[in-house]
Amino acid sequence: MRPAFFFGYGSLVNRHTHRYDAAHAASVRGWRRAWRYTPDRQVAYLTAVRDADCRIDGLVAHVPGGNWAALDLREEGYARHAIAGGLTVEGDVPVAAQVYAVAPHTMVVQADPAPILLSYLDVVVQGYLREFGEQGARDFFATTDGWDTPVLNDRAAPRYPRAQVLTGAETALVDALLAAVGGRVI
């Protein structure tokens, strides 16, 4: 049996939000990120959507013992999808991985969109900064759709359960990159 791996493209890129030690920088072609909504959540999901012309960076990590239960619980609301091709892993580590994505049939269009939590966005961007540098953070914004979604400033009282403390420089970069894509903070 082949070892189980996941490809993380959001908060799973931030190593301080999990204990999957055997993680490697990776990229996958054929996917991009997007902010989407489902009826069962009051905030926007960051999800992967298929896009043949896009490549996104992230982390590939081993799921110990192939036991997906804990990760499936963390990623509740997402479904796992096998990555059929286009996965490149740092050091050419050969892996077969799965990516979590919201099932398209559960997505809805909202007249008053559920917001992105700024505490969540901070965690994601911090992960990209630490793994891929400032260019990696910029690439995250460039390869993510849905920046017309309002962003709820919950930094003073984070609603995201795995919120992290950012440095002043990290916070300033998140704010600058969000402003550059026309993000509206509420």
| Chain segment 68-123, per-residue pLDDT in tens | 888 888 888 888 998 988 899 987 777 889 999 998 878 877 777 899 999 999 99
CA distance 166 to 84: 35
Write down the domain spans for the chain.
5-180
Q: What's the per-residue H, E or C state across 109-175?
A: CCCCCCCEEHHHHHHHHHHHHHHHHHHHHHHHHHCEECCCCCEECCCCCCCCCCCCCCCHHHHHHHH
162 Ramachandran zone, left/alpha/beta (phi>0; psi -120 to 50): alpha
Q: What is the pTM of this model?
A: 0.92
Q: Under CATH, which architecture does the 5-180 domain have?
A: Roll (3.10)
Nearest to 120 by CA among 154, 79, 91: 154
Give 1's pLDDT tier (boundaries 50, 70, 90): very low
